[in-house]
Amino acid sequence: MKILHIISQFPGKTGSGIYVNSLIDEGKKNNHEQGLVGAIQEGLTYENDSLSYLDLVEFNTEELPFNIVGMSDIMPYPSTRYKDLSDEMLSTWVKAFEKSFLKALNIFNPDIIISHHLWILTSLVCKYKGNKKVVAICHGTDIRQMHLNPKYTEFVLEGCQKLDYVLTLSTEQKSEINLLYNIPQDKIEVIGAGYNQEFFYPPKTKPDIKPIKLIYAGKLSNSKGIPYLIKAYSNLRHKYDIELKLAGDGNGEEKEKILEMANENGAIWLGNLSQKELGNVFRKSHIFVLPSFYEGLGLVTIEALACGLLVVATNHNGIKEYLGDKINNSGIIEYVDLPPMSSIDDVSEDGKIIFEKSLEKSIEKMIKRILDGYNQFTAIDYDLKELSWERLFIKLINILQKL
């Protein structure tokens, strides 16, 4: 099968970027010929020997004189927000991707197209797909953009309603897509995400508990709840021998303020890490914390669990559903209720103190578990392996072959 993967941003450094590359890697293992259309700009490099066709739309050029437009308002590299696109910028963006996609159709001639995000590019792909089958994967940020940028709704719906199939990360997303995009339920299936068993696996022995090591991995943005994590850590480090490391990147004022706050409170910034590097850091840590206000699924949570870490994460239905009752009730993961929000990304004044204290309490609970002698999981190892990219790709191919 010849598969063409489509993504409107850089195919790396984000959850959807990891998703794309993981599908491509599994596709190669299963002898599928693959192509990719994506985006790139100065300061970013991309190579993938699993591809037989690659065309990356280049930004910050004479044709596209602005940064890559990110599916999140804060990206781990310089980016443009959809809400800041002028009509002229949008027109040049559409023309560039239209040209790249039509070129791929002509030269690569795929049997099937997998387009990431139920958003503008997927709608554009459906406009020109002809008799090709197009499957879209929802990552959650697309649903957020629909709420944040209603001016694009008509265009997005026009194309996305022509999709042959939609894959989602959770049952909650499936319901949202049905209502928001008016796509029939029988064209939507929950497939979830996976983790790479080559990079994410438990250590042979846990590191020494002096200090107990906390780790966050993801974008450096306020919507990920990092300021509250740093505050909780600052309070707890006066009671326990602990350290906090932040893996990931961001850009702009939010990133700078987060790094300033981290430095003032003794947290360590590791920068952006590869999957292999992140796995190594996880195996040297004890507790993973993901205090984000919104997650499509929280792939990195699965990766942390696969490395034997205890986890503290905000209570999102997607990840709870995907992990299942056995893992959720095993004691290795502690959920923190989301605070009252004043907007899609901002905590209300009443919620700030509540969330900080709840986060602190949950982290302290896990610290005490480690001090009481917790080592690493064994009973749920099989259940996690069921969530690998290998298993997910088998599900994907079964779906594609039915279209």
What's the pLDDT at 350?
75
Q: Report the Cα–Cα distance between both ends of the chain, in Å, rounded.
A: 13
- Give the 3-state secondary structure of residue 135: strand
Beta-carbon contacts of 90 under 8 Å, excluding residues fewer than 6 positions away, are: none
Q: In whole angstroms, give the CA distance from residue 285 to residue 200.
A: 13
244 φ, ψ (degrees, to nearest 5): -125, 130
Cβ neighbours around 150 below 10 Å, total: 10
Average pLDDT along the chain: 91
Per-residue pLDDT of the chain (403 residues; tens, 9 = 90+): 999 999 999 998 888 998 999 999 999 999 999 999 999 999 999 999 999 999 999 999 999 999 999 998 888 899 999 999 999 999 999 999 999 999 999 999 999 999 999 999 999 999 999 999 999 999 989 998 999 999 999 999 999 999 999 999 888 899 999 999 999 999 999 998 888 989 998 888 878 889 999 999 998 988 899 999 999 999 999 999 999 999 999 888 999 999 999 999 999 999 999 999 999 999 999 999 999 887 666 789 989 999 989 999 998 767 888 788 888 888 899 999 887 776 666 777 777 888 899 999 999 999 999 998 876 555 456 567 777 899 899 999 999 998 8
Q: For the chain, how long is the longest CA-to-CA vector?
A: 64
> Domains of the chain by range and CATH?
2-194+388-402 (3.40.50.2000), 212-383 (3.40.50.2000)
CA Rg value for the chain: 21
Task: Tell me how far apart the alpha carbons of residues 211 and 299 are, in angstroms, rounded to a whole number.
Answer: 26
Helix (H, G, I), strand (E, B) or coil at 289: strand
3-state secondary structure of 269: strand
Give the separation between CA 127 and CA 158, rounded to whole angstroms: 9
> pLDDT value at position 66?
98
Q: Is the dihedral of CA 323, 328, 333, 339 positive or negative?
A: positive
- pLDDT at position 375 is 62
